Chain A
């Protein structure tokens, strides 16, 4: 069962139906049951044991908190270490396997738990929250288990904070808004995944699969299309997750906020995979920057290099820790280079040149809020992102660099073949002219929804304020669009979500 299948919708319908028949105080028990059932259908059932171990470790650590003192701290550290080690052993295979290889031992990749990268972060965040006094530890271990394995967030997150889900145990009354908004959001997710991501994916895979033949402008197409595919894929899955949760009256945290409208890379990372960003900010960046030795370093450098440079140097160290963590969390060296180093360098350059850029801008007479300036900034941010994301798509570093070489080569006139965009060659890439139109319309639709969100909050809310015939037209139209142009059914092996791997 994938979450874009008809079976999943039936599973969901049955689950929601029973949910609202139950008395409110029992509703969370049904959610736990559904989550375990979902896990057993979607993942390898025995790997549930890893989630149980994580839950048990977290539960005992937080139970010690009541007693306070050293013991509590030790228990907390032990629980965090257990979670981290489990994660590293199962998900960090690509990181530690080479070490064994050097020693001449080949180890088979272990089967990790579903959603391990996501729930492990939730578990660690929960321990720290309890330790810092921001949350009260749960008394019931089953409730804790539900927090960690709540099924909508098992595929690709989002990474929830405990205080955001705290009230899920109180139950909900049936509400029109939750049902309709939830269903609409799921539909939107289906659209992103089945209509856009799967289609663009064919194009991208064809070009990546044959770099010798598809070079020059082809590589530019893949270069620009892959960020789009990843966005449609990842945010589509998040939409389905958030919509699913909302059917049960539960609001999961947002993970995306029209990221391609961002003006700077820093802003981009506040609008893309938001929950990972805020998690690292709260649990890595702040503690690292605020710890005693960093403060000492800060004072020392400020005295030596001046206030500005001193601060910047410390910031750089903090950022380095954050980005290294994000790279490692993805579990392979290519991500460490593509995400960690690339964005760290870019963001640091941004910090260093921020003041100077302001000066240049005023000398050139650029007004800050013109549409064209925004467009330029967004395109630049997109380009930076697209370069980093090449490492995502490539199998290894060598492939990534050779692809980037190809993309860059076009700029100096190597493999200059812009006519492939117009002479029908595009249709040799496994998709027809109709598909290109569908992609075009889909992107326009994404853009419109993003613009509505920029201006009015959620696009769904904007639609809900319109007249009934218009509303129905919109939702019926979108539904039919997905039914007719979605890639599903017997001929298609609907691929897994890209972020399901983490």
Chain B
């Protein structure tokens, strides 16, 4: 082989790498556009006390604005689609850089969703909507260099995302990460009452749960696990085994675990499956989200009222509040019409 030919091969590979990098950037942009949390970066310093992390169950299940209006608690919901524990952990750290976070509420679906697969982690990393270019995010995650530097191999499906998202761009500015759903499960569901049988699922991966817990302990942040109400556990990754395993874990470390699928919490929050779960039988609808948020508001004041600040003077202007009310009226009307 001549020198010229060697250079040709190297040149071609360089061009190919650049093209792959370009595609990676586009995939990243598509993913980020799908779930962005621009409004968090607009919050003023030290104005957010409580954060929510988790997947779609989180962003459709908890309304920070309700928490603010009714209980004077300032919070932000970092939910993104299929968020893994890794992303939840990173969001917690990102939030703590600018905010004095007191309580982190983890939507527990994250735990069984994170099997510790590289593909899930990388996908979640790039779709978590965090600011900064993707190399910064890649730097956080060191498990598989190639997949992180050229995530196109993992994200190639994301190429085709056509912006079909829960989140309405216009609304996003007023809701602090909350994405309401207005549909009913109706009576067509199979109730998922937790069984007595203490079977424990072993496939849960606690790597990043542990990291998050240690981080919170170190910073003096209170951690809470919450599982939103679902209509049937057959369509979910969440089953009794997951519940029992997480129950075991939280008891071991003295972390509160509120599972709205248990009769105890469901009744306490006044949740009803046919009315408060969306038609997909997985997520809570607007009504469910408000009941769950109200329950959490009281719970937070009861247990952590001393550390949580009461926000009288809104860090939010009246325009935001009005916008929020207008949007929510629309959602409630939509639900009533069904």
Contacts and interface: CB of A to CB of B under 8 A. Distances in A.
Are A and B in direct contact (Cβ within 8 Å)? yes
Interface of A: 6, 174-176, 179-180, 432, 434, 468, 472, 475-476, 479-480, 483-486, 489-491
Contact of A486 (B117, B156, B160): B156
Given A180-B9, A490-B119, A484 B156 contact: yes
B12 A475 contact: yes
A29 B306 CA distance: 76
A476 B23 CA distance: 12
Nearest to B160: A434
B117 A483 contact: no
Contacts of B120: 490
Interface stretch (B13-21, B47-55, B135-143, B168-176): B13-21
A179 B160 CA distance: 33
B41 interface: no
Q: Which of A174, A485, A486, A490 has the most CB of B within 10 A?
A: A490
B119 A483 contact: no
18 contacts: A174-B1, A175-B1, A176-B2, A176-B9, A472-B15, A475-B12, A475-B16, A476-B12, A476-B15, A476-B16, A480-B23, A484-B23, A484-B156, A485-B156, A490-B117, A490-B120, A490-B154, A491-B157
Contacts of A475: 12, 16
Interface string B1-34: 1100100110010011001100100000000000
Contacts of A180: 9
A116 B226 CA distance: 56
B152 A476 contact: no
B156 A476 contact: no
Contacts of A174: 1
B117 A480 contact: no
Contacts of A486: 156
B280 to A, nearest CB: 19
Contacts of B157: 489, 491
Q: Determine chain B's interface SS by DSSP, over half rule.
A: helix
Contact of B159 (A179, A472, A476, A484): A484
B249 interface: no
A475 B9 CA distance: 12
Nearest to A178: B1
B16 A489 contact: no
Given A476-B19, A480-B20, A489 B5 contact: no
A490 B119 CA distance: 7
Contacts of B299: none
Q: Determine chain A's interface SS by DSSP, over half rule.
A: helix
A483 B12 contact: no
Nearest to A438: B160
B2 to A, nearest CB: 7
Contacts of B23: 480, 483-484
A214 to B, nearest CB: 25
Contacts of A484: 23, 152, 156, 159
Contacts of A480: 19-20, 23
A489 B153 contact: yes
Contacts of A468: 8
A483 B15 contact: no
Contact of A176 (B1, B15, B117, B152): B1
Interface of B: 1-2, 5, 8-9, 12, 15-16, 19-20, 23, 117, 119-120, 152-154, 156-157, 159-160
A479 B117 CA distance: 25
Nearest to B150: A483
Contacts of B15: 472, 476
> 7 tightest A-B contacts by CB?
A490-B119, A176-B5, A176-B1, A484-B156, A484-B159, A174-B1, A476-B19
Contacts of A476: 12, 15-16, 19
A365 B157 CA distance: 53
A174 B8 CA distance: 15
Contacts of A483: 20, 23, 152-153, 156
Nearest to A482: B156
Contacts of B9: 176, 179-180
Contacts of A434: 160
A6 B9 CA distance: 20
Nearest to B11: A472
Given A432-B160, A490-B117, A491-B157, 5 more contacts: A468-B8, A472-B12, A479-B19, A480-B20, A483-B153
Q: Which of A174, A176, A485 has the most CB of B within 10 A?
A: A176
Nearest to B22: A480
Given A174-B1, A472-B15, A480-B19, A489 B119 contact: yes
A363 to B, nearest CB: 54
Contacts of A479: 16, 19
B156 A489 contact: yes
B152 to A, nearest CB: 6
A365 B159 CA distance: 53
Q: Which of B9, B20, B23, B156 has the most CB of A within 10 A?
A: B156
A493 to B, nearest CB: 13
A205 B158 CA distance: 25
A489 B1 contact: no
B125 to A, nearest CB: 14
A491 B23 CA distance: 20
Nearest to B154: A489
A64 to B, nearest CB: 44
Contacts of B154: 489-490
Contacts of B2: 176
Nearest to A183: B9
Nearest to A6: B153
Nearest to B117: A490
Contacts of A490: 117, 119-120, 154
A472 B117 CA distance: 34
A491 B117 CA distance: 11
B105 to A, nearest CB: 29
Nearest to A176: B5
Contacts of B5: 176
A475 to B, nearest CB: 7
A434 B157 CA distance: 11
A23 to B, nearest CB: 17
Contacts of B152: 483-484
